[in-house]
Amino acid sequence: EVQLVESGGGLIQPGGSLRLSCAASGFTVSSNYMSWVRQAPGKGLEWVSVIYSGGSTYYADSVKGRFTISRDNSKNTLYLQMNSLRAEDTAVYYCARVAITMVRGALRPYYYYGMDVWGQGTTVTVSS
Amino acid sequence: EIVLTQSPGTLSLSPGERATLSCRASQSVSSSYLAWYQQKPGQAPRLLIYGASSRATGIPDRFSGSGSGTDFTLTISRLEPEDFAVYYCQQYGSSRTWTFGQGTKVEIK
């Protein structure tokens, strides 16, 4: 069964650090684009970061320089290292697999993107 | 950065009615990079539509997506009780970042 299970959330003081984990089963993390998405209490979804299968990483401006996405291929696990945490980082953090579907067009292939597998989320609360 | 604006914020409808949700982008978006998600309270989002109009695996055919450029639409042809939820559009941008709309809540009238 294809599954993602997050862990590592908790209560942390402002300025502190936390590392979230996302253990995958049924597929290989390193062969896929993998992403983190968060949702503040009562708010909408906010994209946080992505790591490509080739290893390139990208971040939302709101977390750039403070958060680091990485993976451990031997453990088939995705991570999010969060430093210098702020109250506004309080949210449920989801990891997700990005599915890329190729469709052959008349002149060239097209690539469709969608986050097709999600974990159940882990809650991070930043408060003193 | 592309901003996605969804409307209406809340849609009040009865089971069996048709729901039309709008997602407008601040600049042109490739249809290949536009997706829709459904989220129910206490649950993770679920992928409904990718490539603006392709249904994800296991999604009923009452869900359909359309649009191009800056205007995209998610249509639920006949609302079932399990369809009352929040819906988000999402785009993948040229700067290698993703953006979500603020969501549309479909509630029971």
Evaluate if residue B101 carries a pLDDT over 90.
Answer: yes
**What digits encode the pLDDT tens for the residues B43-96?**
999 999 999 999 999 999 999 999 999 999 999 999 999 999 999 999 998 788
**What digits encode the pLDDT tens for the residues B10-51?**
999 999 999 999 999 999 999 999 999 999 999 999 999 999
For residue A117, give how far its alpha carbon lies from the nearest alpha carbon of chain B (Å).
Answer: 8
Name the band, by pLDDT with cuts 50, 70 and 90, for residue A82: very high
The pairs formed by B92-95 with CB atoms below 8 angstroms and a separation of 24 or more are B92/A113, B92/B33, B92/B35, B93/B1, B93/B2, B93/B29, B93/B33, B95/A58, B95/B1
Whether A125 and chain B come into contact, CB under 8 Å, resolves to no
Whether A115 and chain B come into contact, CB under 8 Å, resolves to yes
Sign of the four-CA dihedral A116, A71, A6, A13:
negative
Query: What value does the mean pLDDT take over residues A49-71?
Result: 97
Query: What value does the mean pLDDT take over residues A34-47?
Result: 98
Closest residue of chain A to B95, computed from CA coordinates:
A58
